[in-house]
Homo-oligomer: A and B are copies of this chain.
Amino acid sequence: MAKIIYVAIGNEILIGKIINTNESFIGTRLTSAGIPLESSMTIKDDKEIIMKTLEDCWEHYDVVIVTGGLGPTHDDVTKYAICDLFNKELHFDSSVWEAIQKMYEMKDTPLPEIVKTQAEIPQEFTPLPNKKGTAPGLYYSANNKHFFALPGVPSEMKSMFVEHVIPILQKNFSAHPIFQKTIRTIGIPESALYTDTQNVQETAQTKIAFLPKSGMVDIRVYGTSEQEIEEIITKFLKKIPSKNIYGFDDDTIEELFHKKMIASRKTISAAESCTGGLIQSLITDNAGSSEYFLGGVVSYSNEAKMKLLGVKESTLEKFGAVSEDTVREMVLGVQELMGCDYAIAVSGIAGPDGGTDDKPVGLVYIVTFGKTGLVITKNNFSGTRIEVKMKTALTAMHQLAINT
């Protein structure tokens, strides 16, 4: 199997200013192609360090993929380090230059002089077309080894990676894919899920990983064939209540919600307090959500709850804004206001302040009106304000999705 290393070049990553999402993209695409990453590195955009690191990688790996430092400005030195490493000169590539000129013509903006250096590439390197920017990718191969230098800007890197890097690697390396499938769960703590499925884990011959995130837990099953995985998955599914499984692999609660709502042919609306608009924002992240989502209300203050949703002052006084009675009146209020079929309402304490012994930070009431009518749950979420908001939003969307 090919040994592949990914090297990100950029001080911005090392000083923590940028989160390197390219690593995750490259990792995902290589894994799907059956030629997963062996390791990855991040190094400074210093010409000497780049040269030394790449020299080391070129010696120990079959494939070296570099991103970053290909731009036209003074801190872009990757191309020069590559020339030194492989002992090549830069030469002017007129096909690259034509592509750059054409791109500027299309955009109808003047072409800065500095951009012309982008057409200079190391001799014997193949330029890889850049659909979204001016810096071409650079590809070199020798002794069955493969070297790629790609732009660091994610949108430029991604299309180049999919269209050029993956095909070259697939042509040169026979893939020995490791299969995997993930069960995505919500509403059961990791430790309970682990204990409940201990038997299944013990009988499985291959690797199983538990991956908790945002109050949800993924169970990932690895194997050497799809059949082997399916057998283990089937055993897991017998041990976990189906209402706690929201999907497989890359399925998300947002997508499940979207599909369920489209299929239901019902309209919905939401009344949000502690989530402050997040539920509706997640719903409208889905293109096509206007088919079922009418809009709704962020009833952050008590006044808004009363005025827009008709929550009774006496309810707020007697039970408080964070109570079963209040969310019930909120959901009925937003249904009447918007004239929708289904609805969601939430009220809780996102923190960090505002908690009491009776009603601690993280206490959230979620009410959904779906196929079988009202469902009200009392939840205790842990985490920061932002995490409590997100857990509330996803739990609420899931609660409605399984009742449509």
Does A13 lie at the interface of the complex (its beta carbon under 8 Å from any beta carbon of B)?
Answer: yes
Q: Which of B16, B280, B351 contacts A277 (CB 8 A)?
A: B280
Within 8 A of B (CB), among A6-43: 11-21, 23-31, 36-43
- Dominant SS among interface residues on chain A: mixed
* Alpha-carbon separation in the docked complex, A169 to B277 (Å): 42
A336-352 CB mask vs B (1 if < 8 Å, else 0) is 01110000000000111
Verify A308–B285 contact, CB threshold 8 A.
no
Q: Mark A286-329, 1 if CB is under 8 A from B, else 0.
A: 01111001111111110110011000000000000000000000
A279 within 8 A of B: yes
Interface residues as binary, A198-214 with B (CB distance below 8 Å gives 1, 0 otherwise): 00000000010111000
Contact across chains for A19 and B24 when beta carbons are under 8 A apart: yes
Does A112 touch B at the CB level, under 8 Å? yes
* Interface 0/1 of A39-73, CB less than 8 Å to B: 11111100001000100000000000000000001
How far is it, in angstroms, between the C-alpha of A220 and the C-alpha of B16 when the chains are bound? 13
A194 in the interface, Cβ–Cβ < 8 Å?
yes
Q: Give the oligomeric copy count.
A: 2
Pair A301/B294 contact, Cβ less than 8 Å: yes
- Interface pair A40/B14, CB less than 8 Å apart: yes
B residues less than 8 Å from A164 (CB atoms): none
Whether A75 lies near B209 (C-beta < 8 A) is yes
Q: B residues within 8 A CB of A16?
A: 23-31
* Shortest Cβ distance from residue A124 to the other chain B in the assembled complex, whole angstroms: 28
CB distance from A260 to the nearest CB of B (A): 18
**Distance between A303 CB and nearest chain B CB, rounded to angstroms:** 7
Q: Which residues of B contact A276 (CB under 8 A)?
A: 280-281, 283-285, 289, 293
Whether A15 and B31, one on each chain, are in contact in the complex, defined by CB atoms closer than 8 angstroms, is yes
Q: How large is the interface on A (under 10, 10 to 19, 20 to 34, 35 or more residues)?
A: 35 or more
Does A195 sit at the interface, judged by CB under 8 A? yes
Residues of B within 8 A of A31 (CB): 14-16
Chain B residues near A383 (CB, 8 Å)?
155
Q: With A276-B280, A281-B276, A389-B281 as given contacts, are A287 and B191 in contact (CB-CB < 8 Å)?
A: no
- Does A358 reach chain B (CB closer than 8 Å)? no
Contact A351 B287 (CB under 8 A): yes
* A240 interface residue per 8 A CB criterion: no
Q: How long is the Cα–Cα vector from A278 to B294 in the complex, in angstroms?
A: 16
Contacts of A279 in B (CB 8 A): 277
Assess whether B304 is in contact with A338, with CB atoms less than 8 Å apart.
Answer: yes
Instruction: Decide: A308 and B290 in contact? CB cutoff 8 A.
Output: no
User: Which B residue's beta carbon lies closest to that of A271?
Assistant: B295
CA distance A171 to B42 in the complex (A): 26
Which of B73, B281, B287, B299 is close to A281, meaning CB atoms less than 8 Å apart? B281
Q: Check: A386 CB closer than 8 A to any chain B CB.
A: yes
Contact, CB under 8 Å: B44 / A41: no
Bound-state Cα–Cα, A338 to B305, Å: 11
* CB-contacts of A165-214 with B (<8 A): 180, 191, 194-195, 207, 209-211
Known: A16-B31, A276-B283. 12 other contacts (CB 8 A): A13-B40, A16-B25, A17-B24, A18-B211, A20-B24, A39-B44, A281-B281, A285-B386, A287-B353, A295-B297, A295-B304, A308-B337
18 A-B contact pairs sorted by A residue (CB < 8 Å): A14-B31, A14-B40, A15-B36, A15-B37, A17-B28, A17-B220, A19-B19, A40-B41, A109-B191, A155-B383, A276-B293, A284-B389, A285-B389, A288-B353, A294-B301, A296-B300, A297-B308, A308-B337
